[in-house]
Structure formats: structure tokens, C-alpha cells
Amino acid sequence: MTNVTYTQEFKCEICGNASYWGRRAFERHFKEYRHQNGMRALGIPNSKLFFEVTQIAEAQHLWKNVQARHEKPSVDWWHATSADFLYQYICVTNADW
Ligand SMILES: [Zn+2]
């Protein structure tokens, strides 16, 4: 056994099974083009709700639940202005995070 000093690999099915090396790169990639594109292809708005979701089935399942609860996020939270964000936060009171 080697020491656990190597960079951890994270795979993302939504990104076409792309690999991300290291926790920070993995977390950052959810806001990046490739992941956004993957989410758009699934017809799911990319928001903080789907942070750390890398499985297509899991994203679809979560999205169905969100829709069932009438909590359709109409704002792209990553790119919303703070005013938009505040409005969304107050009006929808979706405080999952
Ligand atoms: Zn991804």
C-alpha cells in the first residue's frame, strides 16, 4: 500500500465520465462550461441544488423531486446577480443549502 498522498480522482458522468484530479478541481468544475453543458443536455438547470451530483440518474431523480415540490429554480444561481439571487431566495424560500 502506498501513502494516500496522491491526488484523488473524481469522475463525473454528467461530463461524459471526465476525470477531475483533486477535491478543489472537482468542486470548481460544477460551475464550469463542460458540466453546465452536460446539465443543459439533460434539460436540468445547473444550480447549487445539484452541487456534487455527478451521476446522470441521480441528477434526474433530484430534478424530478424538485419539480414535484414546485420548486423550479427559474434563476441560474451561479450567474444570478445578487439582486436576482436575493429575490429568488426570499420568494422561493428554498433554503436547502
Ligand atoms: Zn461534471
Assigned domain for 79 exists: yes
Spatial separation of the C-alpha atoms in residues 10 and 44, rounded to whole Å: 21
- Using DSSP's 3-state secondary structure scheme, residue 21 falls into strand
Confidence of residue 15 (pLDDT cuts 50, 70, 90): very high
pLDDT tens-digit readout, 40-97: 999 998 888 899 999 999 999 988 887 777 655 555 555 555 555 555 554 454 444 3
Between the CA of 34 and the centroid of ligand 1 the distance, in Å, is: 7
Assigned domain for 67 exists: yes
User: Averaged over 13-33, what is the pLDDT?
Assistant: 95
Q: Which long-range contacts (CB under 8 A, 24 or more apart) does 21-29 make?
A: 27/51, 27/52
Ligand 1 (ion): which residues have CB within 5 A?
12, 14-15, 35
Assigned domain for 27 exists: yes
Which residues on neighbouring strands pair with residue 19, listed in sequence order?
11
Between the CA of 3 and the centroid of ligand 1 the distance, in Å, is: 28
Spatial separation of the C-alpha atoms in residues 43 and 37, rounded to whole Å: 10
Q: Domain of 17?
A: 9-95
Tell me the three cell numbers of residue 48. Answer: 447549487
User: Averaged over 3-31, what is the pLDDT?
Assistant: 90
Given the C-alpha cell 453543458, which residue does it identify? 37
Helix (H) or strand (E) holding 48: none
Assigned domain for 3 exists: no
Domain count, the chain: 1
Between the CA of 50 and the centroid of ligand 1 the distance, in Å, is: 10
Between the CA of 69 and the centroid of ligand 1 the distance, in Å, is: 25
Assigned domain for 2 exists: no
pTM above 0.85, yes or no: no
